[in-house]
Amino acid sequence: MKVLKFGGTSVGSVENLKRVTSIINRDNETKIVVCSAMSGVTDQLVRLTENIKFADTVAIAKNLDALEKKHFDLIAQLIQEETSRNLLYDKVSRIITQLFDISCQSYSNEVNSLIITSGETLLTEIFAEFLKESGCSVQLLYAKDFMYVESTDQPNINNVAQKLHEQIEDLPTATVYLTQGFVCRNREENISHLKRGGSDYTATIIGAAINASEVQIWTDIDGLHNNDPRYVENTHPIAHLTYNEAAELAYFGAKILHPQTVSPVVDREIPVLLKNTFNPDAQGTVISNAIGTMGLKAISAKDGITAIKIKSNRMLMAHGFLRRIFEVFDKFETAIDMITTSEIAISLTIDDTKNLEEIIKEIKQYAHITVQEDYSIICIVGEAVIDDKKTSKLFDILNHIPVRMISYGGSNNNISLLVEKERKIETLRFLNAKLFDAAPLISAN
């Protein structure tokens, strides 16, 4: 059994949903299909949560009217049979009414989750009916009934597997089981979500739960490119990445993948394919345990980085200094991205600043601390990247662009540079010219 995931752009219009249907129907193999909300819908729902925070009833009503109209228009264009259309109008209206009732409550994390996870339900209710009209044998699964992940960082795959199998067994046999991405339940069994872009993560959690033959993630680009095509010309898709390479690129900013996407399938060695809905015959990118080629593969960038320099108040307080620093960040549940150290000083970066004031207050008791914002991490990735003869060329950047930090050694497949955000695009283009312009396309062999 395969798992296929389609993102918001892929399901964002009538024409696109027809493309997705043809991809789903390419073979008769049983599959689970995971869908995001229509493009733009989750942003609408996030705005709705802001309306709720300020109890702006006029904006709430306007937002929900627009949401209903968007999905009514989709139904009118997509569904041919009148009875089915009317039933879907009723379903959408009920969901919108539920959202209005939720919007009348005081804002909370639970209210936020109930609101922002509803876009996937709206889309899949409509798409399931269209698949039926297209002659597809389909059953609709509700992620809230089986995605009991408990922890988003370490999802309980066995729990998801048990509940998913129970759901499937209670339904008539089908070729396609359609469900929602992004939606889950937390440890308290309340509705929660897998953060933005989390439908990728849904797909691989499900893939691990059913021991899928493969997980396909369909987007609007021909696989993962060797640099960011939004800013850099002459990029190309990479035919093959290892799980480690893909995880590094996703964590450090590659937009095509949710940062935790590959983690559920690594131990089960389930390949992940990145494919283009609008060019389905393109090779795309295969992510697996096999090492296709060694050396440089790709560059990605992560924005919103804060650099922190911490220097001990006592020149000889080396023993225990690092431990005390790390304990503070652990206490406030703040992950560290990059780190460089000396005997009495440490420089590090974070991308989550919600607890920064508390962190500074605590560390100031025994160290000097300097904070600088608006940085970007540029990540150069490839298995055994340091052994690639071309890698040394990246250090030419020191002659052209101020680099705040350089980090290597945490893994064998990642070298990270910290630069001011305003120099990010310049850095990406410089590295692309130095490292890739003369390089051949990376082969899967």
Mean pLDDT (whole number) for 194-216: 95
pLDDT above 90: percentage of residues in the chain: 81
pLDDT of 127-177, one tens digit each? 999 999 999 999 999 999 999 999 998 999 999 999 999 999 999 999 999
DSSP codes joined into one string, 333-371: T-----EEE-SSEEEEEES--TTHHHHHHHHTTTEEEEE
Judge whether 152 is annotated as a binding position.
no
Integer distance in angstroms from the first to the last C-alpha of the chain? 26
Among 202, 220, 238, the domain-final residue is 220
For residue 346, what are the domain limits? 298-435
In a domain, 30, yes or no: yes
Determine the 3-state secondary structure of 16 from DSSP.
helix
pLDDT-derived band at 442, boundaries 50, 70, 90: very low
Average pLDDT over residues 76-82: 96
Indicate whether 445 pLDDT > 60: no
> What is the reported pTM?
0.90
Binding site annotation covers 410?
Answer: no
Are residues 320 and 420 both part of a single domain? yes
Q: According to the annotation, is 219 in a ligand binding site? A: yes
Mean pLDDT, rounded, for 17-32: 96
- Write out pLDDT tens, residues 271-296: 999 999 999 999 999 999 987 788 89
Alpha carbons within 13 A on the beta-carbon side of 197: 12
Assess if residue 189 is contained within a domain.
Answer: yes
How far apart are alpha carbons 23 and 282 in whole angstroms? Answer: 13
Closest CA to 245 of 305, 195, 292: 292
- The reply, when asked if residue 220 is annotated as ligand binding, is yes
Q: Has residue 82 got a pLDDT over 80? A: yes
Last residue of a domain, one of 194, 220, 246: 220
Answer yes or no: is 77 within a domain: yes
Total domain count, the chain: 2
Would you say 8 is a known binding-site residue?
A: yes
> Is residue 436 part of an annotated ligand binding site?
no
Looking at the structure, do residues 197 and 310 belong to the same domain, yes or no?
no
Q: What is the CATH number of the domain that holds 170?
A: 3.40.1160.10
Q: With DSSP H G I counted as helix, E B as strand and the rest as coil, what are the percentages for the chain, rounded to 5?
A: 40, 20, 40
Where a domain ends, among 204, 220, 236?
A: 220
Residue 318's pLDDT is what? 59
- Judgement on whether residues 215 and 305 belong to the same structural domain of the protein: no
Would you say 337 is a known binding-site residue?
Answer: no
Q: Is 341 marked within a binding site? A: no
Residue 269 domain flag: no
**Whether residue 306 sits in one domain with residue 183:** no
Strands 2-6 and 31-35, bridge-based pairing: parallel
Q: Residue 444 CA to chain centroid, in angstroms?
A: 24
- State the CATH number of the domain containing residue 365: 3.30.2130.10
387 is in an annotated binding site: no
Quick check: is 421 in a domain?
A: yes
The answer to the question of residue 344 being in a domain is yes
Is residue 439 scored above 70 in pLDDT? no
Contact (Cβ atoms closer than 8 angstroms) between residue 391 and residue 296 = yes
User: Do 199 and 302 sit in the same domain of this protein?
Assistant: no
User: 309-356: per-residue pLDDT in tens?
Assistant: 999 876 445 567 888 899 999 999 999 999 988 777 899 999 999 999
Residues 206 and 325 in one domain: no
β-pair partners for 307: 349, 372
Identify the weakest region by mean pLDDT among 90-94, 179-183, 226-230, 420-424. Answer: 226-230
CA–CA gap between residue 440 and residue 80 (Å, rounded): 49
List of long-range contacts for 407-410, beta carbons under 8 Å, 24+ apart: 407/338, 407/339, 407/340
| DSSP H or E segment with residue 319 | none
Write the pLDDT tens digit of every residue in 304-318: 999 999 998 764 455
Residue 226 lies in a domain: no
